Structure 1
Amino acid sequence: MEPAQNPLDVSIVIPVYNEFDNLPDLVEQVEKAMTPANVKWELICVDDGSRDGSDRRLAELAEARPWLKPLYLNRNYGQSTAMQAGFDAAAGNVLITLDGDLQNDPADIPRLLKELEAHPEIDVLSGWRKDRQDRTLSRKIPSRIANALISKVTGVSLHDYGCSLKLYRREALANVKIYGELHRFIPALAAQFGARVMELPVNHRARTRGVSKYGIDRTIRVLLDLLWVKFLLRFLHRPMHAFGSVGAVMLVPGLLALAYLVGLKLFTGADIGHRPLLLLGVMFTLMGAQFIGMGLLGEMLTRIYHEPAGQKQYVLRDAPRKSGVR
């Protein structure tokens, strides 16, 4: 994300999908929270291909509000893409995200801004819905399991990865691009480039209008995305270590099995053509060679990405970090 030429203090980014009834209250509550905050701010609402007229309502609301900047995606791309579109259009030094369903409380934003200002060493301030107003069996328990798993895999420990209310310093997102369903992993992706993350409790409200966009299929998507994030964090610059290790585990037993059968044939004349071990050895050898080949291809792609395009493998900072926060 390129720095803005004339940055504001704060850009609030809200992905919107079929929130026609919530939009007037959402805009009003954001305005009520930010007007006395004594900062220059803008509200970017990204309509993610809504089908209920949310785009038209956003246009109406923006007519008398110069700080409200609607964006309209051509179709429903998903929350991550909508959020990235908002980040690309944002002009603020601090970027704030929250949901458009009014379950996040905009009144929390000024308090979180003060906390971020009080901790200059922090790059990402993540909300924690400590008193979450959702169903226990279908939402709370799966969320706790997912948060524990994500924290374990990524090494960035948070109680609530799913809370959309988060504050980011612009530089923390400079090297982060999100797509698919990666929006919930932004703190971990930012931490890969050295961002410091802190978590604070925020208010959470029950949904009163509209329909939740999340179902049980989200759990499957989270697990698949977590596998990708794990690979990204650990093996992005050394894919041979990932694919090569799996290939070696398969190739070595395969070659040993084939060597045993060849020796058996040469020294005893035994018939090995119908032995299951022969098929197993061939299969392991071929699969192992394929994985090692994938690792070599990954190494080549890594170098193509970094060398001709000039993409550095590291990020420098201007000065030493302040002490006190890990």
Structure 2
Amino acid sequence: MPDREAIRLSVVVPVKNEAGNIAPLVVEIVAACAPLRPFEIVYVDDGSTDGTPAALAAARARHPELRVLRHRESCGQSAAVRTGVLAARGELVATLDGDGQNDPAFIPALVAVLTEAGPQAGLAQGQRIGRKDGRLKTIQSRIANGVRGRILQDATRDTGCGLKVFRRAVYLRLPYFDALHRFMPALVAREGFFVVHADVVDRPRFTGRSNYGLFDRLWVGILDLAGVWWLIRRRRRVPQVEQGGME
């Protein structure tokens, strides 16, 4: 495994009870990121109670790029993402959901969009087209995204998309709270960086049922929305620091 200095990209995947989806998704990630070598894949098992640990162990034996971390008990998707980012060795971090709905084939395009935008671009946010979540969840998500966008003015159509690429150093500057990953565009902008976007094609999950996703619903995330609005209102100016001369 290359050391931290050699790795440019870390792919972080939070999972909970996704045993049947581990092997095919790891194969897709390895193939998609081949042009970006050297890279690593960091799976965070968020307290799974099915065969996920065994599936991850089997995948680890076949793919030296894969690292596996585990929460003793489930702490939620944002916590799993944060665990992965803290452990990541890459300057850039890509995230995607572990159910197969996010196609890793879009990771290189998101990396390119972010790097071409320059160092002041902190986040490349995927925005799903052709949603496969079902009519009710899709409607709920659209309502929540619409309300969030009007309140936070984050110029992002779909913050709930798990496909993102961001600078690890920028993420570490963000205030941490549950559901952070759904408010990243607004919080990245709060730190003085800008956000770029790319459309990504959604697809059905490989197997099983959803274990995350409740924060798509407005009535669950309304307190978080109010908190992020307060944080943005309290941040007035981002200092532009320059190296001073020595007397």
TM-score of the superposition, structure 1-length normalised? Answer: 0.68
Question: Could you tell which deviates more after superposition, 216-225 or 201-210?
Answer: 216-225
- CA distances 1:211-260 after superposition (whole Å, capped 9, x unpaired): 112576752321121111112221368xxxxxxxxxxxxxxxxxxxxxxx
Q: Identify the residue that residue 8 of structure 1 maps to in structure 2.
A: 7
Q: Cα distance, 1:32 vs. partner?
A: 1.1
Identity of aligned residues (%): 36
Structure 2 alignment gaps of length 5 or more: none
Question: Which structure carries more strand by proportion?
Answer: 2
Aligned to 2:163: 165
Q: Where does 1:24-43 land on structure 2 (aligned, <5 Å)?
A: 24-35=23-34, 37-43=35-41
Query: CA offsets per residue over residues 125-144 of structure 1, 9 Å max, x none?
Result: 100102212222x1221111
Which structure 1 residue ranges, 5 or more long, are not aligned?
A: 238-312, 320-326
Inter-partner Cα distance in structure 1 for 2:164 and 2:213: 23
Higher percent of residues as helix: 1
Match of 1:229 in 2: 228
1:317 Cα shift?
5.6
* 1:149 correspondence with 2:157: no
Tell me which residue corresponds to 2:83. 85
CA distance in 2, matches of 1:315, 1:7: 31
In terms of Rg, which structure is larger? 1
Where 1:161 maps in the other structure, the secondary structure is coil
Do residues 128 (structure 1) and 127 (structure 2) align?
Answer: yes
Secondary structure of 1:34's counterpart equals helix
* Equivalent-residue separation in structure 1 for 2:220 and 2:159 (angstroms): 14
Q: Match of 1:178, SS? A: coil
Does the CA contact (< 8 Å) of 2:4 and 2:90 recur in 1? Answer: no
User: How far apart are residue 170 of structure 1 and its match?
Assistant: 2.4
Confirm or deny: 8 A CA contact 1:84 1:179 kept in the other structure.
no
Q: How does 1:129-278 map to 2 (within 5 A)?
A: 129-136=128-135, 138-214=136-212, 219=217, 220-235=219-234
Shift of 1:89: 0.3
Distance in 2 (CA, whole Å) between partners of 1:40 and 1:5 is 10
1:8, distance to aligned residue in structure 2 (A): 1.4
Please tell me the residue identity of whatever aligns with 1:12: V
Which residue of 110, 113, 116 corresponds with 1:112? 110
* CA-CA distance at 1:7 after TM superposition: 5.3
Aligned equivalent of 2:98, options 97, 100, 105: 100
SS at match of 1:59: helix
Between 1 and 2, higher relative CO (CA 8 Å, sep ≥ 6) is seen in: 2
Which runs of structure 1 show a deviation greater than 4 angstroms over 4 or more consecutive aligned residues?
214-218
The DSSP-based 3-state class of the residue aligned with 1:57 is helix
Aligned to 1:70, which of 62, 68, 71?
68
Within 2, Cα distance between the matches of 1:46 and 1:82? 6
Distance 1:47 1:214, change over 3 A: closer
Separation in structure 2 between the aligned mates of residue 318 and residue 131 of structure 1, nearest angstrom: 45
1:22 is matched with 21
Mean alpha-carbon deviation: is it higher for 176-185 or for 160-169? 176-185
Distance 2:60 2:179 in 1: 28
- Equivalenced residues, count: 239
> Retained in 2: the 8 A contact 1:193–1:315?
no
CA, structure 1 residues 231+8, in 2 after alignment: closer, same or farther (shift >3 Å)? same
* Gap change, CA 1:212 and 1:227, over 3 Å in 2: same
1:246 corresponds to which residue?
none
